[in-house]
Amino acid sequence: MKTKSFYHLPLSSLQWLLTGLFLGAIPLWFPLKSAVIFSFLGCLLWRFILERKGLKCPGLWTRCAVGAVGLLIIQGLYGTLIGLEAGMCLLLLLIALKVLEMRTEREFMLLAYLAFFILLTSLFFSQTLLICIYVSAVFVILTATVVQFTGGAAEGFRLRSLVPYTLLLVVQALPLIALLFIFLPRIKGGGLLQLNKPKTAQSGMSEQINPGSFAELAQNEEDAFRVDFPDDNMPPFDDLYWRAGVFAECHGLQWRADKRDREVMGRPRLTGPVVVQRISMEPHSGGWVYALDRPLSSNGPVTMTGGNVLTMSLPMEERLNLRVVSRLGNDQTPLTAAAREALTAVPSDLGDRTRQLVDSWLRKTQDPKELARLALAMFRQDNFRYTLSPGVYRENGFEEFLFERKLGFCEHYAAAFGTLMRMAGVPARMVAGYHGGEANPFTNYLIVRQADAHAWTELWIEGEGWVRYDPVDFINPLRVDADTPLAARRPANGNDTERIRSETNGPAFLQKLFRGARFGWDAVNFQWNLHIVSYDQASQRDFYRTLGIDTIFSWRLLVILLGGLLTVRGVVYAFVRQKPEKQERSLVLYRQFCRLLAKHGLERMPNEGPRDFAQRAVEVFPAEAARVSELFGLFIGWRYGRGASAAEIAGRLRELKRRLRGRKRAATTV
């Protein structure tokens, strides 16, 4: 039977729905053109005003006109009506038209669920914590909309009872959401529908290192990656070298990552303590994977290439979470003759002064470590200055840097040092990456920013393998500019685990508060990315394995899912369940009695009292007349507080039941 229910749309419900649609469409502002969102919100407002003033909805022709204008707008903005974004716009247009004509309960509910849909689509464009919190909040509002409407609108709900009730519903659903999120096996379905994500900021390391490229990064406060140490063995600050790329083709001050270097550098043979890191990388275009020097292995779409470098095997479209194992020691991979030759190659046009300098060193010693010491001593003693703005060097600015201006940033020193060492016959390469990071005091992890970008040099030393040399360490601290990361990293008081950035001007406590809030928010975000965003099919399988579940067709998984489902259901049920009213014993027995008689063919009329019913019963069961009428008498007496006990009546009832059954049996046998 079709039930006509609440067919008028109460103003209060309509306000809830329009608010829900409004809030649900707001996150689409970012992926879609704002003109579309404005027009959509305009239609909502239109309907709201009409309703407020008690006016009629626009007629068919007006709606057709609105639809046509909408189509034109979409066609004009996107040049097409198909495709994901135009499709979303079309959906918004249809919703707007529906809003303008909505009159029935069915249309209201349809729009409410469409509102859920457009709200939830915003999660496919962005998964930041902020968006998720917003979507959750609007989700609750939309739930409240439906609850308010189906609950009899204003007649049924006041805000005071609606809000707690909706929250109760949602809170009761939460454990189930968690259960499904953690345990329900995910399906791999890549490529079904790829949303065009807006291109994210993609600064970072590039394929070649030019003078000045790092100074640019040093001004960039964007996050490069975050990292935490699950084994709680964060290395000391001075060991926090994050390796990104290796450059083995020397051009003086400019080094390039030659494709050949991946062949000349063999398989790594690493030493030193093992450190496991969880790295959450912001999207960047370089293809590098940042990891603690030197990475050994990693999960995810990552391959190990020569020079202990991890590179991404897929283009990086979104934040990538990896678990990387590194060893802090040297790389003792033996060097082939060909590799040694390639790694000592220098350009021929470097100049005579350099040649003379290196020759003067070579006359003193042939030992690579001693040679390195001599070169670094020169950086320290020879009035070299560490600065973010060294100015522009000429095409072959190597000698200009080394002998004239002596101004440079980390890449100048690393490049120059590497080149000098190569000229001295020591295999050298330049490494780009990051150094240090900012520890978050709330939970123990590091934020590494683009400003922490750094370059250093590696020398191959017989018997020790590849050894890291950071030339900027040897610059006289008095000649380090105050605005450089190096100056911040090594403050005068020696506290080098925390870098103080002054981003706000104001009272100290405000700065502290601001810093605290920033760190707190960052910590929550990091955990969100680490545990929620990165919880994909692969991490789910990893998690299953820790529980001893090897395949998704495991009975253990089934037990967990079903058990969890039933538990949640049980808890919710226990909450909504209402104990039935305890019925009076006399009534229970009387109902039994009536059922018994009904079974034997005598149905009590709905409006029949016991006296009238008794009369009929006696006529229908003449053989049992005495018993039946006595029982009726007892019931009536008992109801008014007189006569027999419940046990006695129950006994009589049983006796009658037996006799009637006997009679029936006799009747059927005859």
Considering only residues 178 through 207, tell me which ones interact with another protein, judged by CB under 8 A: 180-181, 184, 186-195
Q: Pick the binder of another protein from 165, 229, 442, 519 (CB under 8 A).
A: 165
Concatenated DSSP letters of 406-466: -EE-HHHHHHHHHHHHHHTT--EEEEEEEE--EEETTTTEEEEEGGGEEEEEEEEETTTEE
Q: Pick the binder of another protein from 6, 214, 288, 632 (CB under 8 A).
A: 6
Write down the least CB distance from residue 606 to another protein, Å.
3
Write down the least CB distance from residue 657 to another protein, Å.
23
Q: Any idea which residue has 């981003």 for tokens?
A: 503
| Closer by beta carbon to another protein, 215 or else 589 | 589
382 is an interface residue for another protein by CB under 8 A: no
Q: Which of 248, 249, 431, 427 shows the shortest CA–CA distance to 335?
A: 427
Instruction: Tell me which stretch binds another protein (CB under 8 A): 14-22, 132-140, 288-296, 331-339.
Output: 132-140
| Closer by beta carbon to another protein, 19 or else 145 | 145
Sheet holding 208-209, edge to edge: 208-209, 254-256, 249-251
30 is an interface residue for another protein by CB under 8 A: no
| Closer by beta carbon to another protein, 92 or else 153 | 153
280 is an interface residue for another protein by CB under 8 A: no
Site string for another protein, 556-575 (x = CB under 8 A): ---------x--xx--xx--
| Closer by beta carbon to another protein, 250 or else 320 | 320
Write down the least CB distance from residue 19 to another protein, Å.
18
How far apart are alpha carbons 262 and 267 in whole angstroms? 10
Residue 452 corresponds to which tokens in the numbers above? 């922490």
Q: Which helix (H) or strand (E) holds 485?
A: helix 485-489
Residue 530 corresponds to which tokens in the numbers above? 């680490």
Q: Pick the binder of another protein from 11, 26, 176, 602 (CB under 8 A).
A: 176
49 is an interface residue for another protein by CB under 8 A: no
Q: Pick the binder of another protein from 13, 143, 308, 333 (CB under 8 A).
A: 143
Q: Pick the binder of another protein from 22, 48, 78, 157 (CB under 8 A).
A: 157
525 is an interface residue for another protein by CB under 8 A: no
Q: Any idea which residue has 């789910």 for tokens?
A: 540
Instruction: Tell me which stretch binds another protein (CB under 8 A): 153-161, 208-216, 262-270, 289-297.
Output: 153-161
How far apart are alpha carbons 86 and 104 in whole angstroms? 29
| Closer by beta carbon to another protein, 189 or else 494 | 189
Write down the least CB distance from residue 558 to another protein, Å.
17
| Closer by beta carbon to another protein, 109 or else 362 | 109
Q: Pick the binder of another protein from 127, 305, 511, 554 (CB under 8 A).
A: 127
Residue 566 corresponds to which tokens in the numbers above? 């039933």
Ordered alpha helix ranges (H), 126-240? 129-150, 153-156, 159-183, 213-218
How far apart are alpha carbons 112 and 17 in whole angstroms? 7
Handedness of CA 210, 212, 214, 216 (dihedral sign): negative
Q: Which of 404, 408, 417 shows the shortest CA–CA distance to 390?
A: 408
537 is an interface residue for another protein by CB under 8 A: yes
Site for another protein in 306-325 (CB under 8 A): 318
| Closer by beta carbon to another protein, 170 or else 560 | 170
Q: Give the number of other CB atoms < 10 A from CB of residue 13.
A: 24
Q: Pick the binder of another protein from 124, 403, 521, 543 (CB under 8 A).
A: 124
29 is an interface residue for another protein by CB under 8 A: no
Bond into 595 cis (ω within 30): no
| Closer by beta carbon to another protein, 147 or else 357 | 147
| Closer by beta carbon to another protein, 117 or else 521 | 117
Q: Pick the binder of another protein from 83, 152, 563, 601 (CB under 8 A).
A: 152
Q: How far is CA 176 from the centre of its chain?
A: 18
User: What letter would DSSP give residue 238?
Assistant: G
| Closer by beta carbon to another protein, 48 or else 157 | 157
Write down the least CB distance from residue 16 to another protein, Å.
13
- Output phi, psi for 312, to 5 deg: -80, 135
137 is an interface residue for another protein by CB under 8 A: no
Write down the least CB distance from residue 134 to another protein, Å.
12
110 is an interface residue for another protein by CB under 8 A: yes
Q: Pick the binder of another protein from 26, 73, 77, 123 (CB under 8 A).
A: 123
Q: Is 295 left (phi over 0), alpha (psi -120 to 50) or beta?
A: beta
Instruction: Tell me which stretch binds another protein (CB under 8 A): 166-174, 218-226, 289-297, 306-314.
Output: 166-174
Site for another protein in 68-107 (CB under 8 A): 106
| Closer by beta carbon to another protein, 12 or else 344 | 12
**Which residues touch 70 (CB under 8 Å, ≥6 apart)?**
39, 93, 96, 97
521 is an interface residue for another protein by CB under 8 A: no
The size of the chain, in residues, is 670
Query: How wide is the angle at C-alpha 160 spanned by C-alphas 174 and 43, nearest 5°?
Result: 80
- Output phi, psi for 477, to 5 deg: -55, -25
How far apart are alpha carbons 307 and 303 in whole angstroms? 12
Write down the least CB distance from residue 318 to another protein, Å.
7
Q: Is 621 in contact with 667 (CB distance < 8 Å)?
A: no
170 is an interface residue for another protein by CB under 8 A: yes
How far apart are alpha carbons 451 and 409 in whole angstroms? 13
Residue 443 corresponds to which tokens in the numbers above? 């939970």
Q: Pick the binder of another protein from 12, 15, 150, 208 (CB under 8 A).
A: 150
How far apart are alpha carbons 80 and 75 in whole angstroms? 5
Q: Pick the binder of another protein from 45, 75, 76, 113 (CB under 8 A).
A: 113
593 is an interface residue for another protein by CB under 8 A: no
| Closer by beta carbon to another protein, 172 or else 511 | 172
Residue 263 corresponds to which tokens in the numbers above? 């062949």
Q: Pick the binder of another protein from 231, 507, 581, 641 (CB under 8 A).
A: 581
Instruction: Tell me which stretch binds another protein (CB under 8 A): 64-72, 73-81, 135-143, 375-383.
Output: 135-143
| Closer by beta carbon to another protein, 177 or else 510 | 177
Residue 620 corresponds to which tokens in the numbers above? 């229908």
Long-range contacts (CB closer than 8 Å, 24 or more residues apart) made by 610-619: 610/635, 610/636, 610/639, 611/636
How far apart are alpha carbons 145 and 548 in whole angstroms? 43
649 is an interface residue for another protein by CB under 8 A: no
How far apart are alpha carbons 202 and 85 in whole angstroms? 23
Write down the least CB distance from residue 364 to another protein, Å.
59
From the CA atom positions of the chain, what is the Rg in Å?
A: 40
